[in-house]
Amino acid sequence: MTTVLLLAGTSEARALSHRLAALPGIGLTASLAGVTRSPAAYGGRLRSGGFGGVPGLQRYLSAEGIGAVIDATHPFAATMHRNAAIACSGADVPLLRLERPEWVAPPGADWRDVADLGAAIGLLPAGAVGFIAAGRSAGPVLAARQEARFVLRAIEAPPEPLPANVRLILGRPSEDAAAEMALLRAEGVTHLICKNSGGPAGRAKLDAAAALGVPVLMIRRPPRQPVPTVATVGDAVRWLRAIVANAAGSGASRA
């Protein structure tokens, strides 16, 4: 039996957990940071909460006898990604990164890559109305541009009160570009600011912006660690099957 730790928090991680839970020879634990109040259902055992940095994760790997780790955290979850790379390398545990491809600008779209939210709002002209799809913690950064207005869309309410120039819309992105266009129009949005998260769920807002000629300020992804990386759930399953087959082969040759 290979004990697998799946670092989760994305739709791909959820889909992968259901595939892995059905495979023989695998004992799966999916791990969440514990920031979402009612997380979706996962396959396998579910644990929640941080490990306590690299040393805590190394202790966990050893205590649980983890034989493989799949890091399927969000492309912007840079700390967990880095900690997993360091801890697995130190403990000699095979690690795979599952990361969805980045969005690419449609032909003719007005996209500009920026380093972070602060850089993005610094580029807005006075009187701009920025639509922010960059996480619920954006509020304090947005307070720095009082001469602009912002519409912040978030799945859960921000932990702190929002500045007066920010209007909150609670909800998930629509997968329907027409619905996203109607929203951008109704809010009088002049600029769209978002993280380059990739994936189908947030794509419609980009198509809507392109159709309306709304410029996009795209926050680029944080740097990746040098670990083997795949882009699909199927490739992650194949990687793990090979690890399990190897483990079974070396067990048989020792017997």
For binding to ligand NAP (CB under 6 A), which residues are involved? 7-10, 31-33, 35, 50-53, 56-57, 73-74, 76-80, 83, 135, 195
Minimum distance, C-beta of residue 21 to ligand NAP, in the bound complex (Å): 17
Of the candidates 162, 8, 151, the residue with the CA atom closest to the CA atom of residue 72: 8
Which is closer to ligand NAP, CB of 53 or CB of 65? 53
Which is closer to ligand NAP, CB of 8 or CB of 162? 8
Minimum distance, C-beta of residue 48 to ligand NAP, in the bound complex (Å): 7
Contact assessment for residue 236 and residue 227, using Cβ atoms and an 8 Å cutoff: no
Minimum distance, C-beta of residue 174 to ligand NAP, in the bound complex (Å): 17
Cα–Cα dist 186/184, whole Å? 6
Cα–Cα dist 27/1, whole Å? 7
Which is closer to ligand NAP, CB of 76 or CB of 111? 76
Residues 6+ apart with CB under 8 A from 1: 25, 26, 27
| End-to-end alpha carbon distance in the chain | 15
Which is closer to ligand NAP, CB of 145 or CB of 195? 195
Minimum distance, C-beta of residue 193 to ligand NAP, in the bound complex (Å): 13
